[in-house]
Homo-oligomer: A and B are copies of this chain.
Amino acid sequence: MENFTIYNPVKVHFGAGVVEQLGAVIAPIHRKVLLVYGQGAIRKNGVYDLVMQQLHDAGCEVWEYGGIKSNPIIEDVDAAAELGRHNGVGVVLAVGGGSVIDSVKIIAAAIVAQCSAWDLVSRKTKPTGALPVVTVLTLAATGTEMNPFAVVQNQQLGIKTSFSSPYSFPVHSFLDPAFTLSVPSHYTGYGIADLMAHVMEAWFGKGDSPLADKIVVSILQEAMEAGPQLMGHLQDYNLRARVMYAATLALNGTTMHGRLHGDWGVHAAGHVLSLLYGVPHGASLTIVYPTWLRLMKDRETLRVQKLLGHLFQTTDIEDGIQKLEGFFKSINCPVRLGELNLPATAPAEIVDQMIRNRVSGMHHQLSSEDYRTLVSLME
């Protein structure tokens, strides 16, 4: 095992009705609130009204910034930060999925740093603090509700990149599985795929940690047990709860104990698909992971074999990868570029963008030759 640090101060309030505590939690922090949300789903499913009622009853003054995109862009982050800064808010409340919460982490740091958000993300300016962040999660997928990480894209520069700081843990996260009951089938599947990809990035990271490995397998097995059941019963609270908790545990640090770092090469490759064609994050991962495993089967044979063996009781790697593809299909996720309706030029464009972004894992380096192999395997 490698030396490691465990530290995660997020207070997670999990379960039915937990948002009834939102006002009581926010008011003592600050009564001037910047509320950030996405494309308006929360106005349809009632979550917006519940949250506003809480803030109103707690005597909070609220400024709203809606319209965060599902692959969030830096322009929205800057505009929201300016709104909050101008009005002297003291707490930033994210109501939404990963894109909204990720954006809010950068907004909260940019308000304090008084600089453009891209200066923080590009590491030109080092964050010195952040406003307290509170989140209300409406999509089980990224795990951002219990970690300090964020991903944002800069369309102009053609970069999708990550941000984190010691100040970027949410203070409180409210996770009511009932708030995800209205998530449509496809996005439910993408979320399951996303959480699975997170723990696989840990599995293929640097450093032997046998118990963390067992937890990776536990989370994968949980996703593969509850996930398909949920796809057939989207209104089942308990199945929503199981997937929501699995997604949180998948990226709150637990799978990294005893390792130096994860790999994240598959995420880096997937980001290229999102950046070029707006492919939903989870869908990009289900296309890249099987191909990446085929690329790695001769380099990391034992690790690939061991993981697939745990999941599918097979010692044959190709058989295991096909079973993984079969699982992804069973939760409505694509496994080939051909399913996405992309232009005929897509494969070459993807390789070019991978070269420009120097796509690679932290543990398993990828070369230009690898990009071509990966993309040809995706076709």
A275 at the interface (CB under 8 A from B): no
**Structural contact, B5 and A13, CB atoms closer than 8 A:** yes
Question: What is the distance, in angstroms, from A249's C-beta to the closest C-beta of chain B?
Answer: 7
Evaluate contact between B18 and A14: CB separation under 8 angstroms. no
Q: Which of A1-57 contact B (CB under 8 A)?
A: 1-18
For A258, the chain B residues whose CB sits under 8 A away are 14, 241, 245
Distance between Cα atoms of A34 and B260 in the complex (Å): 34
The chain B residue sitting closest to A226, CB to CB, is B210
A5 contacts B9, CB within 8 Å?
A: no
Residues of B within 8 A of A245 (CB): 1, 209, 211, 257-258
- Report if A222 contacts B (CB, 8 A): yes
Task: Decide if A83 is an interface residue (CB 8 Å cutoff).
Answer: no
Closest to A257 in B: B245
A218 touches B (CB below 8 Å)? yes
A210-B222, A218-B215 are contacts. A238–B1 as well, Cβ < 8 Å? yes
- Residue interface bits A240-258, CB-to-B below 8 A is 1, else 0: 0110011011000010011
Q: Mark A253-274, 1 if CB is under 8 A from B, else 0.
A: 0100110000000000000000
Verify if A231 is at the interface (C-beta below 8 Å from B): no
How many Å lie between the Cα of A157 and that of B9 in the bound state? 38
Is A308 positioned at the interface, with any CB of B under 8 Å from its CB? Answer: no
Kindly state whether residue A357 has any CB partner on chain B within 8 Å: no
Are A6 and B1 CB-contacts (below 8 A) given A210-B225, A225-B210, A245-B211? no
In the complex, the answer to whether B4 meets A249 with C-beta atoms within 8 Å is no
Residues of B within 8 A of A219 (CB): 211, 214
Distance to closest chain B CB from A151 (angstroms): 23
User: Please, how many angstroms separate the alpha-carbon atoms of A246 and B11 in the complex?
Assistant: 23
A146 contacts partner chain B, Cβ-Cβ < 8 Å? yes
Cα separation A218 to B211 with both chains bound (whole Å): 7
Q: Verify B8–A242 contact, CB threshold 8 A.
A: no
Whether A3 pairs with B8 at a CB distance below 8 angstroms is no
Map CB proximity to B onto A132-157 as digits: 1 under 8 Å, 0 otherwise: 00000000000000100000000000
How many Å from the CB of A220 to the closest CB on chain B?
Answer: 10
Q: A373 in the interface, Cβ–Cβ < 8 Å?
A: no
For the complex, is A164 an interface residue (Cβ under 8 Å from B)? no
With A211-B249, A214-B221, A218-B211: A12-B1 Cβ-Cβ less than 8 Å = no
In the complex, what residues of B have CB within 8 A of residue A17's CB?
3
Q: Closest residue to A250 on the B side, CB-wise? A: B211
Distance, CA A146 to CA B215, complexed state (A): 19
Q: With a CB–CB cut-off of 8 A, which chain B residues contact A7?
A: 10-12
Supply 21 A–B pairs (Cβ within 8 Å), ascending by A.
Answer: A1-B238, A1-B241, A3-B15, A4-B14, A4-B15, A6-B11, A6-B12, A6-B14, A7-B10, A7-B12, A14-B257, A14-B258, A209-B245, A211-B218, A211-B219, A211-B222, A214-B222, A217-B218, A218-B218, A245-B258, A249-B254
4 A-B pairs closest in CB distance: A3-B15, A214-B218, A6-B12, A211-B222
